[in-house]
Amino acid sequence: MTTPALPYALACAARGWHVFPLTPRDKRPVKGFTDWEANATADPTLIRRVWSRAPFNIGIACGPSRLVVIDLDMPKPGQIPPPAWDLPGIVDGSAVFTRLCEQAGQERPDRTFTVLTRRKGAHLYFTAPVGVRLRNTSGTLGWLIDTRAHGGYVVGPGSHVALPDGTGTYCVLDASDPAPLPEWLVARLAVPDPPPSSAAPVTLPSGQRPTRYALAALRGESDRVKAATPGTRNHTLNAAAFALGQLVGAGALPRPLAEQALTDAGHTAGLSAREVAATVQSGLDAGQRRPRQGAA
């Protein structure tokens, strides 16, 4: 069986980009497809095998593909710019990006691989700089601008998404090779990595070991946070923290282990260190106050 997105998945692989399956008509990885960044592939044989199973959409793992993608979004109904961007002509992420380029005294780098998104925004693809590991950002450059790099993915061209906030197909607007990410953008995005809480494994006192059920829940909630899309990430992290907090309250999961996994997942999703710390703490606290019955 040939699915509509298969030729696009193969075209991405031909460019050296690593792809993985997204849920049909959705932006999320296929259920059960964990560690999508490590399992993404540019192998055409494997791609044909996977996409012959169902009309999967395409996820492009930016890190392994050596890509940085600038996501220029459209405002949602009723959404207005914050005071800093409440300026004449600023109506969407593209206008914000143009203003940023003008302020930096640079030409807008539009001659690069570009995809029209389902909500009529744009993804600008650039090659990642050598020797600098860029991560995902949300609003760092400006209103309605996110970036995807190491630890992130974008919905690839040829994918069709039908969600309550918009339905449409991701289409190639410019098939040029990705241009190198301009140095001035590298400088703005090259912020220090968040403190890696996984650098030192959590040491648990004797008798405080997670149950098998709790470990499965920990992996599942962490994967959901990592795969969360812009506009849903903080809510997803809060829901995950609440669910795991219920297991902590029931004695099935040590809190330090939950905090570590949720913090790593939140950073991978592109949330700021401050957002992650506040959301993880409040979510776990709320969950602990309502322990899950029968989970211990």
What is d(CA 223, CA 211) in angstroms, rounded to the nearest whole number? 18
Mean pLDDT of 238-253: 91
| 130-139, 149-158, 184-193: which is most confident | 149-158
Distance CA 261, CA 47 (A): 30
Location of each CATH 3.30.2250 domain in the chain: 6-189
103-129 mean pLDDT: 95
Which CATH code fits 6-189?
Answer: 3.30.2250
Residue 199's pLDDT band (cuts 50, 70, 90):
very low
Across the chain, mean pLDDT equals 89
User: Residue 47 pLDDT > 60, yes or no?
Assistant: yes
Position 223 confidence tier, pLDDT thresholds 50, 70, 90: confident
pLDDT of residue 281: 92
Mean pLDDT (whole number) for 219-246: 86
The pTM of this model reads: 0.72
